Chains A and B, each alone.
Chain A
Amino acid sequence: GDSVTQMEGPVTLSEEAFLTINCTYTATGYPSLFWYVQYPGEGLQLLLKATKADDKGSNKGFEATYRKETTSFHLEKGSVQVSDSAVYFCALSDPGGYQKVTFGTGTKLQVIP
């Protein structure tokens, strides 16, 4: 079945540091790929998405590129802020129907001033 593997956290960075959170996936079809973010005390919200190979999703300074050859969708940001502290989930959507989504286990990011 489909699966998503992302790097374990927590990740602690100083403000303005470069961020990479690794994500790889296994899927039988051609899934769409997502990064969701969960701020403390809240539900998940979509951060960015990519629907086909070589697509780049971007939002709020975050970027991720759909790499079919390496089955990866790594999240990057050039300069993190304290307000980016959250849990980040990589996910893929089953193209077979009902938009069933498989989530990774989440990576907690803490940014310190």
Chain B
Amino acid sequence: DVKVTQSSRYLVKRTGEKVFLECVQDMDHENMFWYRQDPGLGLRLIYFSYDVKMKEKGDIPEGYSVSREKKERFSLILESASTNQTSMYLCASSFYRGEETQYFGPGTRLLVL
């Protein structure tokens, strides 16, 4: 079975802190994605990566950055957390070609105070 794990299920941070969210997948997928999920807005794509050291902006990249130093690991960074970044963050991965199904981690619920 494909497994996507996220470093934390729940996080509480203070405004202005630097926050790292980590995602690891064990299926040798090329593509990895970070979404945020908010009530009434569904899932919105923050960033994605189709290869090591490659990244592409999604629909809402402002206030976020990402890092992909190894194929299996994709990190989301909040450089200076703000209260409007309180949300559920979901990581996903997929194969580069052919198989379009995305496999999701359990999510990290982030509260910024």
**B-binding residues in A (CB < 8 A):** 32, 34, 36, 41-46, 49, 51, 89, 93, 98-101, 103-106
Contacts of B96 in A (CB 8 A): 98-99
Is A43 a contact partner of B100 (Cβ separation < 8 A)?
Answer: no
Is B48 a contact partner of A43 (Cβ separation < 8 A)?
Answer: no
Complex CA gap A43/B43 in Å reads: 11
A43 to B, closest residue via Cβ: B104
Contacts of A36 in B (CB 8 A): 104
Complex CA gap A42/B106 in Å reads: 5
CB distance from A22 to the nearest CB of B (A): 15
* Closest CB pairs A-B (n = 10): A43-B104, A105-B42, A103-B43, A93-B100, A44-B104, A99-B100, A43-B106, A103-B42, A99-B94, A46-B101
**6 new A-B contacts at CB < 8 Å, known A32-B100, A36-B104:** A43-B106, A46-B102, A49-B100, A99-B31, A101-B45, A104-B42
B6 to A, closest residue via Cβ: A43
Is A101 a contact partner of B42 (Cβ separation < 8 A)?
Answer: no
Is A43 a contact partner of B101 (Cβ separation < 8 A)?
Answer: no
Complex CA gap A60/B100 in Å reads: 20
Known: A89-B42, A103-B43, A105-B40. A44 touches B100 (CB 8 A): no
Contacts of A45 in B (CB 8 A): 103-104
